[in-house]
Structure 1
Amino acid sequence: MSKTAVSSLFFAITLLFTLPACNAQAVKMSKSGICHAPDSAHYQRTTNFTAYANLPNCLDAGGRLPKGYAQTNTQMTPNSNEYNRDDWAHWLDEDNDCQDTRAEVLIAQSQAQVSFNDPKQCRVTTGAWADPYSGKLFTNDDDLDIDHIVPLKFASEHGGAHWSHSEKARFANDMDNLLAVDNSLNRSKGAKGPTEWMPPKHEYRCEYLARFNAVMNKYRLSYTAQEQRTLTKMTSACS
Protein backbone atom coordinates (compact mmCIF):
# COMPACT_ATOMS: atom_id res chain seq x y z
CA MET A 1 0.00 0.00 0.00
CA SER A 2 1.39 3.44 -0.93
CA LYS A 3 2.12 6.14 1.62
CA THR A 4 -0.78 8.19 0.20
CA ALA A 5 -3.21 5.30 0.60
CA VAL A 6 -2.01 4.64 4.13
CA SER A 7 -2.41 8.30 5.02
CA SER A 8 -5.94 8.38 3.55
CA LEU A 9 -6.91 5.25 5.41
CA PHE A 10 -5.47 6.54 8.68
CA PHE A 11 -7.35 9.81 8.24
CA ALA A 12 -10.60 8.02 7.47
CA ILE A 13 -10.58 5.89 10.60
CA THR A 14 -9.24 8.39 13.13
CA LEU A 15 -10.77 11.77 12.35
CA LEU A 16 -13.53 12.84 14.75
CA PHE A 17 -15.98 15.62 14.06
CA THR A 18 -17.82 18.05 16.32
CA LEU A 19 -21.05 19.89 15.73
CA PRO A 20 -20.97 23.65 15.31
CA ALA A 21 -22.36 25.93 17.95
CA CYS A 22 -25.81 27.30 17.32
CA ASN A 23 -27.30 30.73 17.71
CA ALA A 24 -29.65 32.01 20.40
CA GLN A 25 -33.37 31.55 19.75
CA ALA A 26 -32.50 28.18 18.34
CA VAL A 27 -34.23 24.87 18.85
CA LYS A 28 -33.55 23.44 22.32
CA MET A 29 -32.64 19.78 22.76
CA SER A 30 -33.43 18.83 26.35
CA LYS A 31 -31.28 16.42 28.37
CA SER A 32 -33.76 13.68 27.53
CA GLY A 33 -33.21 14.29 23.80
CA ILE A 34 -36.46 16.09 22.94
CA CYS A 35 -36.24 18.91 20.39
CA HIS A 36 -38.30 21.92 21.43
CA ALA A 37 -38.87 24.52 18.71
CA PRO A 38 -39.90 28.06 19.81
CA ASP A 39 -43.58 27.13 19.30
CA SER A 40 -43.30 24.07 21.53
CA ALA A 41 -45.38 24.17 24.71
CA HIS A 42 -42.28 23.36 26.79
CA TYR A 43 -39.86 25.70 25.04
CA GLN A 44 -39.69 28.36 27.77
CA ARG A 45 -39.54 25.77 30.56
CA THR A 46 -36.59 23.95 28.97
CA THR A 47 -33.57 25.54 30.65
CA ASN A 48 -30.99 22.74 30.48
CA PHE A 49 -30.43 22.12 26.79
CA THR A 50 -28.18 21.98 23.74
CA ALA A 51 -29.03 24.62 21.13
CA TYR A 52 -29.42 23.95 17.41
CA ALA A 53 -30.00 26.39 14.58
CA ASN A 54 -33.23 24.72 13.47
CA LEU A 55 -35.42 21.69 14.00
CA PRO A 56 -33.90 19.48 11.25
CA ASN A 57 -30.42 20.01 12.72
CA CYS A 58 -31.66 18.99 16.16
CA LEU A 59 -33.37 15.88 14.78
CA ASP A 60 -30.35 14.94 12.67
CA ALA A 61 -28.24 15.10 15.83
CA GLY A 62 -30.34 12.31 17.36
CA GLY A 63 -33.17 14.28 18.93
CA ARG A 64 -36.86 13.49 18.78
CA LEU A 65 -40.03 15.54 18.59
CA PRO A 66 -42.39 16.06 21.55
CA LYS A 67 -45.39 13.76 21.46
CA GLY A 68 -48.03 15.12 19.10
CA TYR A 69 -45.80 17.83 17.68
CA ALA A 70 -45.19 16.19 14.30
CA GLN A 71 -48.90 15.76 13.64
CA THR A 72 -49.96 19.26 14.66
CA ASN A 73 -46.99 21.49 13.89
CA THR A 74 -44.86 19.92 11.17
CA GLN A 75 -45.80 19.78 7.53
CA MET A 76 -45.16 16.43 5.91
CA THR A 77 -43.91 16.05 2.35
CA PRO A 78 -44.56 12.39 1.53
CA ASN A 79 -44.04 12.86 -2.19
CA SER A 80 -40.71 14.63 -1.86
CA ASN A 81 -37.41 12.83 -2.40
CA GLU A 82 -35.69 15.25 -0.02
CA TYR A 83 -34.88 13.89 3.41
CA ASN A 84 -37.51 14.67 6.04
CA ARG A 85 -36.89 13.04 9.41
CA ASP A 86 -40.61 13.10 10.18
CA ASP A 87 -41.13 10.57 7.37
CA TRP A 88 -39.01 8.07 9.33
CA ALA A 89 -41.30 7.37 12.26
CA HIS A 90 -39.12 6.23 15.14
CA TRP A 91 -39.45 5.36 18.80
CA LEU A 92 -42.73 3.62 18.13
CA ASP A 93 -44.64 1.45 20.57
CA GLU A 94 -45.47 -1.25 18.05
CA ASP A 95 -46.66 -3.86 20.58
CA ASN A 96 -48.72 -1.34 22.60
CA ASP A 97 -47.04 -2.18 25.91
CA CYS A 98 -46.25 1.54 26.56
CA GLN A 99 -42.51 0.95 26.03
CA ASP A 100 -41.36 2.64 22.82
CA THR A 101 -38.32 1.58 20.82
CA ARG A 102 -35.99 3.73 22.91
CA ALA A 103 -37.15 2.03 26.09
CA GLU A 104 -36.84 -1.42 24.55
CA VAL A 105 -33.26 -0.73 23.44
CA LEU A 106 -32.34 0.48 26.92
CA ILE A 107 -33.88 -2.62 28.50
CA ALA A 108 -32.24 -5.01 26.03
CA GLN A 109 -28.78 -3.46 26.25
CA SER A 110 -28.56 -2.76 29.97
CA GLN A 111 -26.13 -4.97 31.88
CA ALA A 112 -28.21 -4.64 35.04
CA GLN A 113 -31.89 -4.54 35.85
CA VAL A 114 -33.37 -1.23 34.77
CA SER A 115 -35.70 1.01 36.77
CA PHE A 116 -38.60 3.08 35.52
CA ASN A 117 -40.14 6.44 36.35
CA ASP A 118 -43.71 5.15 36.66
CA PRO A 119 -45.61 2.06 37.88
CA LYS A 120 -46.54 1.09 34.33
CA GLN A 121 -42.82 0.75 33.51
CA CYS A 122 -42.99 2.85 30.38
CA ARG A 123 -39.91 5.05 30.59
CA VAL A 124 -36.51 3.70 31.62
CA THR A 125 -34.51 5.94 33.95
CA THR A 126 -31.55 3.93 35.28
CA GLY A 127 -29.58 0.82 34.41
CA ALA A 128 -26.01 -0.06 33.43
CA TRP A 129 -25.00 0.58 29.83
CA ALA A 130 -21.51 0.00 28.41
CA ASP A 131 -21.22 2.44 25.53
CA PRO A 132 -19.24 0.65 22.80
CA TYR A 133 -18.26 3.95 21.16
CA SER A 134 -16.43 5.36 24.18
CA GLY A 135 -15.94 2.35 26.47
CA LYS A 136 -17.63 4.27 29.30
CA LEU A 137 -20.30 2.89 31.63
CA PHE A 138 -23.51 4.89 32.10
CA THR A 139 -26.24 4.45 34.69
CA ASN A 140 -28.59 7.34 33.85
CA ASP A 141 -30.66 7.25 30.67
CA ASP A 142 -30.42 11.05 30.36
CA ASP A 143 -26.77 10.59 29.37
CA LEU A 144 -27.64 8.29 26.48
CA ASP A 145 -28.95 8.63 22.96
CA ILE A 146 -30.16 5.74 20.87
CA ASP A 147 -27.93 5.87 17.82
CA HIS A 148 -28.95 4.65 14.40
CA ILE A 149 -25.74 2.91 13.34
CA VAL A 150 -26.69 3.75 9.77
CA PRO A 151 -28.20 7.22 10.27
CA LEU A 152 -31.65 7.89 8.86
CA LYS A 153 -30.44 10.69 6.61
CA PHE A 154 -27.54 8.54 5.40
CA ALA A 155 -30.00 5.76 4.54
CA SER A 156 -32.22 8.23 2.72
CA GLU A 157 -29.31 9.51 0.64
CA HIS A 158 -28.08 6.00 -0.20
CA GLY A 159 -31.24 4.43 -1.54
CA GLY A 160 -33.97 4.83 1.08
CA ALA A 161 -35.53 8.07 -0.15
CA HIS A 162 -38.11 6.24 -2.26
CA TRP A 163 -39.17 3.80 0.46
CA SER A 164 -42.74 3.83 1.72
CA HIS A 165 -43.48 5.28 5.14
CA SER A 166 -43.85 1.77 6.57
CA GLU A 167 -40.45 0.72 5.19
CA LYS A 168 -38.84 3.84 6.65
CA ALA A 169 -40.48 3.15 10.02
CA ARG A 170 -39.22 -0.44 9.97
CA PHE A 171 -35.69 0.79 9.34
CA ALA A 172 -35.92 3.52 11.99
CA ASN A 173 -37.00 1.02 14.67
CA ASP A 174 -34.87 -1.97 13.67
CA MET A 175 -33.00 -3.22 16.75
CA ASP A 176 -30.15 -4.40 14.49
CA ASN A 177 -29.46 -0.73 13.75
CA LEU A 178 -29.74 0.71 17.26
CA LEU A 179 -27.21 1.25 20.06
CA ALA A 180 -27.44 3.06 23.40
CA VAL A 181 -24.44 5.40 23.36
CA ASP A 182 -22.98 8.52 24.92
CA ASN A 183 -25.29 11.31 23.75
CA SER A 184 -22.41 13.67 22.98
CA LEU A 185 -20.82 11.12 20.64
CA ASN A 186 -24.10 10.44 18.90
CA ARG A 187 -24.51 14.14 18.26
CA SER A 188 -20.96 14.51 16.98
CA LYS A 189 -21.63 11.66 14.58
CA GLY A 190 -24.85 13.19 13.24
CA ALA A 191 -25.67 11.74 9.81
CA LYS A 192 -22.08 10.82 8.92
CA GLY A 193 -21.04 7.48 7.47
CA PRO A 194 -17.91 5.52 8.43
CA THR A 195 -15.66 7.36 5.95
CA GLU A 196 -16.29 10.56 7.96
CA TRP A 197 -16.81 9.34 11.52
CA MET A 198 -15.67 6.35 13.55
CA PRO A 199 -16.05 5.60 17.29
CA PRO A 200 -13.21 7.00 19.41
CA LYS A 201 -12.72 3.59 20.99
CA HIS A 202 -10.29 2.03 18.51
CA GLU A 203 -11.03 -1.54 19.60
CA TYR A 204 -14.66 -1.18 18.48
CA ARG A 205 -14.06 0.36 15.07
CA CYS A 206 -13.88 -2.85 13.08
CA GLU A 207 -17.04 -4.20 14.71
CA TYR A 208 -18.76 -0.86 14.08
CA LEU A 209 -17.80 -1.01 10.42
CA ALA A 210 -19.04 -4.60 10.18
CA ARG A 211 -22.38 -3.66 11.75
CA PHE A 212 -22.71 -0.62 9.49
CA ASN A 213 -22.09 -2.77 6.41
CA ALA A 214 -24.50 -5.45 7.64
CA VAL A 215 -27.35 -2.93 7.94
CA MET A 216 -26.52 -1.46 4.54
CA ASN A 217 -26.67 -4.96 3.02
CA LYS A 218 -29.84 -5.90 4.90
CA TYR A 219 -31.70 -2.95 3.38
CA ARG A 220 -29.90 -3.06 0.01
CA LEU A 221 -28.48 0.43 0.42
CA SER A 222 -25.53 1.45 -1.76
CA TYR A 223 -22.37 3.41 -1.03
CA THR A 224 -21.04 5.91 -3.52
CA ALA A 225 -18.06 4.74 -5.57
CA GLN A 226 -15.68 6.93 -3.56
CA GLU A 227 -17.08 5.68 -0.26
CA GLN A 228 -16.81 2.08 -1.43
CA ARG A 229 -13.15 2.48 -2.34
CA THR A 230 -12.32 3.89 1.09
CA LEU A 231 -14.43 1.29 2.91
CA THR A 232 -12.81 -1.54 1.00
CA LYS A 233 -9.43 -0.40 2.32
CA MET A 234 -10.82 -0.01 5.84
CA THR A 235 -12.40 -3.47 5.76
CA SER A 236 -9.16 -4.97 4.48
CA ALA A 237 -7.27 -3.33 7.34
CA CYS A 238 -9.69 -4.93 9.79
CA SER A 239 -9.18 -8.34 8.20
Structure 2
Amino acid sequence: MTTSTPPPSARPTRRARTALRRTAVALGLALAGAPAVASAAQALPPAPPSVADSRTMLAGLHVGYEDNVGYDRTEFKHWITISGSCDTRETVLERDGSGVTTDSTCHATGGTWRSVYDDTTFTNSSDLDIDHVVPLAEAWGSGANLWTDAKREVFANDLSIPQLIAVSASSNRSKSDQDPAEWQPPASGWRCEYARSWIEVKDQYDLEVDSAEKTALTGMLDTDC
Protein backbone atom coordinates (compact mmCIF):
# COMPACT_ATOMS: atom_id res chain seq x y z
CA MET A 1 0.00 0.00 0.00
CA THR A 2 1.35 3.40 -0.90
CA THR A 3 0.41 6.79 0.41
CA SER A 4 0.82 10.13 -1.27
CA THR A 5 2.28 13.20 0.40
CA PRO A 6 -0.35 15.92 0.86
CA PRO A 7 0.27 19.17 -0.97
CA PRO A 8 1.86 21.95 1.12
CA SER A 9 -1.49 23.71 1.45
CA ALA A 10 -2.98 20.62 3.09
CA ARG A 11 -0.19 20.12 5.60
CA PRO A 12 -0.50 21.53 9.11
CA THR A 13 1.54 24.66 9.70
CA ARG A 14 4.49 24.51 12.07
CA ARG A 15 2.40 26.27 14.73
CA ALA A 16 -0.45 23.79 14.23
CA ARG A 17 1.92 20.82 14.44
CA THR A 18 3.38 22.15 17.67
CA ALA A 19 -0.09 22.76 19.14
CA LEU A 20 -1.15 19.22 18.30
CA ARG A 21 1.97 17.79 19.90
CA ARG A 22 1.55 19.88 23.04
CA THR A 23 -2.06 18.72 23.32
CA ALA A 24 -0.97 15.11 23.01
CA VAL A 25 1.72 15.62 25.65
CA ALA A 26 -0.77 17.25 28.00
CA LEU A 27 -3.18 14.35 27.60
CA GLY A 28 -0.37 11.90 28.25
CA LEU A 29 0.75 13.73 31.37
CA ALA A 30 -2.81 13.85 32.67
CA LEU A 31 -2.69 10.06 32.75
CA ALA A 32 0.69 10.02 34.45
CA GLY A 33 -0.85 10.43 37.86
CA ALA A 34 -2.29 6.92 37.67
CA PRO A 35 -0.29 4.03 39.17
CA ALA A 36 2.52 2.93 36.88
CA VAL A 37 1.60 0.07 34.59
CA ALA A 38 4.19 -1.91 32.67
CA SER A 39 4.05 -0.79 29.05
CA ALA A 40 3.85 -3.41 26.32
CA ALA A 41 6.66 -1.92 24.24
CA GLN A 42 9.19 0.85 24.37
CA ALA A 43 7.94 4.27 23.33
CA LEU A 44 10.00 6.97 21.69
CA PRO A 45 10.04 10.78 21.60
CA PRO A 46 7.61 12.54 19.24
CA ALA A 47 8.42 11.66 15.64
CA PRO A 48 10.49 14.24 13.76
CA PRO A 49 9.40 15.64 10.37
CA SER A 50 9.76 13.73 7.13
CA VAL A 51 13.03 13.92 5.23
CA ALA A 52 11.46 16.32 2.71
CA ASP A 53 10.14 18.61 5.42
CA SER A 54 13.48 18.43 7.25
CA ARG A 55 15.26 19.60 4.10
CA THR A 56 12.88 22.54 3.86
CA MET A 57 13.37 23.43 7.52
CA LEU A 58 17.16 23.17 7.23
CA ALA A 59 17.17 25.43 4.18
CA GLY A 60 15.23 28.03 6.17
CA LEU A 61 17.58 28.13 9.17
CA HIS A 62 19.80 31.18 9.44
CA VAL A 63 23.51 30.39 9.12
CA GLY A 64 25.50 32.25 11.71
CA TYR A 65 28.53 32.05 13.97
CA GLU A 66 28.10 30.15 17.22
CA ASP A 67 29.30 31.96 20.33
CA ASN A 68 29.06 30.23 23.72
CA VAL A 69 30.53 33.12 25.69
CA GLY A 70 28.66 33.47 28.98
CA TYR A 71 27.09 30.01 28.88
CA ASP A 72 26.18 28.50 32.23
CA ARG A 73 24.06 25.35 32.50
CA THR A 74 22.10 26.90 35.36
CA GLU A 75 20.64 29.37 32.86
CA PHE A 76 18.35 26.50 31.75
CA LYS A 77 16.23 25.35 34.71
CA HIS A 78 15.71 21.59 34.65
CA TRP A 79 14.41 19.12 35.62
CA ILE A 80 11.01 20.59 36.50
CA THR A 81 7.88 18.93 37.89
CA ILE A 82 5.70 17.56 35.11
CA SER A 83 2.93 15.78 37.02
CA GLY A 84 2.56 14.93 40.70
CA SER A 85 6.01 13.95 41.94
CA CYS A 86 7.32 13.17 38.44
CA ASP A 87 9.95 15.50 37.03
CA THR A 88 11.09 15.70 33.43
CA ARG A 89 13.77 13.04 33.81
CA GLU A 90 11.43 10.49 35.35
CA THR A 91 8.74 11.26 32.77
CA VAL A 92 11.15 10.58 29.91
CA LEU A 93 12.42 7.40 31.54
CA GLU A 94 8.87 6.07 31.81
CA ARG A 95 8.04 7.10 28.26
CA ASP A 96 11.17 5.67 26.65
CA GLY A 97 11.32 2.39 28.56
CA SER A 98 9.48 -0.89 28.44
CA GLY A 99 7.83 -2.40 31.51
CA VAL A 100 8.85 0.58 33.63
CA THR A 101 7.81 0.51 37.30
CA THR A 102 8.11 3.45 39.67
CA ASP A 103 7.95 4.06 43.41
CA SER A 104 5.87 6.65 45.28
CA THR A 105 8.38 9.38 44.39
CA CYS A 106 8.20 8.49 40.67
CA HIS A 107 11.72 7.06 40.68
CA ALA A 108 12.10 4.25 38.15
CA THR A 109 12.60 1.02 40.07
CA GLY A 110 12.60 -1.35 37.11
CA GLY A 111 12.25 -1.60 33.38
CA THR A 112 14.19 -2.05 30.17
CA TRP A 113 15.63 0.72 28.07
CA ARG A 114 17.28 0.61 24.65
CA SER A 115 19.75 3.39 24.04
CA VAL A 116 19.26 4.19 20.37
CA TYR A 117 22.50 6.17 20.13
CA ASP A 118 24.66 3.08 20.63
CA ASP A 119 22.10 0.27 20.32
CA THR A 120 22.61 -1.03 23.85
CA THR A 121 20.05 -2.21 26.39
CA PHE A 122 19.86 -1.41 30.11
CA THR A 123 17.75 -2.52 33.06
CA ASN A 124 19.02 0.03 35.57
CA SER A 125 17.85 3.62 35.12
CA SER A 126 20.99 4.94 36.77
CA ASP A 127 22.91 3.86 33.66
CA LEU A 128 20.90 6.35 31.58
CA ASP A 129 21.05 10.07 30.96
CA ILE A 130 18.32 12.22 29.46
CA ASP A 131 19.95 13.81 26.46
CA HIS A 132 19.02 17.20 25.07
CA VAL A 133 19.25 16.43 21.35
CA VAL A 134 20.28 20.04 20.78
CA PRO A 135 22.56 20.56 23.80
CA LEU A 136 21.94 23.47 26.11
CA ALA A 137 25.33 25.02 25.34
CA GLU A 138 24.66 24.65 21.61
CA ALA A 139 21.31 26.37 22.04
CA TRP A 140 22.89 29.17 24.05
CA GLY A 141 25.43 29.90 21.34
CA SER A 142 22.79 29.66 18.61
CA GLY A 143 20.41 32.26 20.02
CA ALA A 144 19.14 31.12 23.44
CA ASN A 145 21.46 33.61 25.14
CA LEU A 146 18.92 36.24 24.07
CA TRP A 147 15.91 34.40 25.52
CA THR A 148 14.13 34.98 28.79
CA ASP A 149 14.73 32.58 31.69
CA ALA A 150 11.19 31.27 31.19
CA LYS A 151 11.79 30.37 27.54
CA ARG A 152 15.06 28.63 28.40
CA GLU A 153 13.19 26.60 31.03
CA VAL A 154 10.60 25.52 28.44
CA PHE A 155 13.35 24.54 26.02
CA ALA A 156 15.22 22.46 28.60
CA ASN A 157 12.08 20.47 29.48
CA ASP A 158 10.22 20.36 26.15
CA LEU A 159 8.44 17.03 25.70
CA SER A 160 6.37 18.13 22.71
CA ILE A 161 9.19 17.81 20.16
CA PRO A 162 12.00 15.23 19.80
CA GLN A 163 14.40 17.16 22.05
CA LEU A 164 14.64 14.79 25.04
CA ILE A 165 15.57 11.11 24.91
CA ALA A 166 16.82 8.50 27.38
CA VAL A 167 20.19 7.16 26.23
CA SER A 168 23.22 5.50 27.78
CA ALA A 169 25.19 7.80 30.04
CA SER A 170 28.35 6.88 28.13
CA SER A 171 26.95 7.97 24.74
CA ASN A 172 25.50 11.17 26.17
CA ARG A 173 28.79 12.12 27.77
CA SER A 174 30.71 11.22 24.63
CA LYS A 175 28.45 13.60 22.71
CA SER A 176 28.69 16.33 25.35
CA ASP A 177 27.92 19.72 23.74
CA GLN A 178 28.97 18.77 20.20
CA ASP A 179 26.89 19.39 17.10
CA PRO A 180 26.45 16.92 14.17
CA ALA A 181 29.64 18.18 12.49
CA GLU A 182 31.54 16.91 15.54
CA TRP A 183 29.48 13.97 16.82
CA GLN A 184 26.85 11.61 15.42
CA PRO A 185 25.26 8.54 17.04
CA PRO A 186 27.57 5.51 16.81
CA ALA A 187 24.52 3.44 15.80
CA SER A 188 24.21 4.45 12.16
CA GLY A 189 20.58 3.29 12.03
CA TRP A 190 19.55 6.22 14.23
CA ARG A 191 21.43 8.98 12.40
CA CYS A 192 18.56 9.89 10.08
CA GLU A 193 16.20 10.21 13.05
CA TYR A 194 18.83 12.21 14.90
CA ALA A 195 19.40 14.67 12.05
CA ARG A 196 15.68 15.23 11.53
CA SER A 197 15.14 15.70 15.27
CA TRP A 198 18.02 18.19 15.51
CA ILE A 199 16.66 20.18 12.58
CA GLU A 200 13.15 20.32 14.00
CA VAL A 201 14.35 21.57 17.38
CA LYS A 202 16.38 24.32 15.74
CA ASP A 203 13.43 25.20 13.49
CA GLN A 204 10.86 25.29 16.29
CA TYR A 205 13.03 27.58 18.42
CA ASP A 206 14.43 29.68 15.56
CA LEU A 207 18.00 28.78 16.46
CA GLU A 208 20.88 29.40 14.07
CA VAL A 209 23.19 26.80 12.55
CA ASP A 210 26.83 27.28 11.67
CA SER A 211 28.10 26.32 8.21
CA ALA A 212 29.85 23.09 9.26
CA GLU A 213 26.75 21.99 11.17
CA LYS A 214 24.50 22.64 8.17
CA THR A 215 26.85 20.73 5.86
CA ALA A 216 26.89 17.77 8.25
CA LEU A 217 23.11 17.73 8.56
CA THR A 218 22.71 17.89 4.78
CA GLY A 219 25.09 14.96 4.46
CA MET A 220 23.14 12.94 7.05
CA LEU A 221 19.87 13.52 5.19
CA ASP A 222 21.55 12.47 1.95
CA THR A 223 23.40 9.44 3.27
CA ASP A 224 21.51 8.11 6.29
CA CYS A 225 17.88 8.74 5.35
Query: For 1:130, what is the secondary structure of its paired residue?
Result: strand
- From 171, 194, 197, the equivalent of 2:155 is 171
- Which letter does structure 2 place at the counterpart of 1:105? V
Query: For 2:214, what is the secondary structure of its paired residue?
Result: helix
Q: Residues 209 and 235 of structure 1 are in contact (CA less than 8 Å); yes or no, is this contact kept in structure 2? A: yes
State the alpha-carbon separation in 2 of the partners of residues 188 and 195 from structure 1: 14
Asked if 1:217 corresponds to 2:206, the answer is: no
Q: Residues 114 and 128 of structure 1 are in contact (CA less than 8 Å); yes or no, is this contact kept in structure 2? A: no
Map 1:1-239; keep pairs closer than 5 Å: 82-95=70-83, 97-116=84-103, 120-175=104-159, 176-239=162-225
Q: Residues 69 and 141 of structure 2 are in contact (CA less than 8 Å); yes or no, is this contact kept in structure 1? A: no
- Which letter does structure 2 place at the counterpart of 1:91? W
State the alpha-carbon separation in 1 of the partners of residues 174 and 215 from structure 2: 24
**How many residues get paired?**
156
TM-score, normalised by the number of residues in structure 2? 0.65
Q: Which runs of 5+ in 1 are unaligned?
A: 1-79
* Larger Rg over CA atoms: 1
Once the two structures are superposed, residues 30-79 of structure 1 have per-residue CA deviations (whole angstroms, 9 ceiling, x without a partner) of xxxxxxxxxxxxxxxxxxxxxxxxxxxxxxxxxxxxxxxxxxxxxxxxxx
Q: Residues 100 and 109 of structure 2 are in contact (CA less than 8 Å); yes or no, is this contact kept in structure 1? A: no
Query: For 1:114, what is the secondary structure of its paired residue?
Result: strand
Give 1:125 shift. Answer: 2.8
Q: Residues 81 and 162 of structure 1 are in contact (CA less than 8 Å); yes or no, is this contact kept in structure 2? A: no
Indicate the residue corresponding to 1:30 in structure 2: none
State the alpha-carbon separation in 2 of the partners of residues 209 and 230 from structure 1: 9
Give 1:81 shift. Answer: 6.4
Q: Residues 112 and 127 of structure 1 are in contact (CA less than 8 Å); yes or no, is this contact kept in structure 2? A: yes
Q: Residues 189 and 224 of structure 2 are in contact (CA less than 8 Å); yes or no, is this contact kept in structure 1? A: no
Q: Residues 150 and 193 of structure 1 are in contact (CA less than 8 Å); yes or no, is this contact kept in structure 2? A: yes
Give 1:204 shift. Answer: 0.8
Q: Residues 125 and 142 of structure 1 are in contact (CA less than 8 Å); yes or no, is this contact kept in structure 2? A: no
State the alpha-carbon separation in 2 of the partners of residues 81 and 199 from structure 1: 27
TM-score, normalised by the number of residues in structure 1? 0.62
Query: For 1:129, what is the secondary structure of its paired residue?
Result: strand
State the alpha-carbon separation in 2 of the partners of residues 203 and 229 from structure 1: 20
RMSD, aligned CA = 1.7
Once the two structures are superposed, residues 79-135 of structure 1 have per-residue CA deviations (whole angstroms, 9 ceiling, x without a partner) of x9611110100110144x11110000011111113233xxx2422232111111111
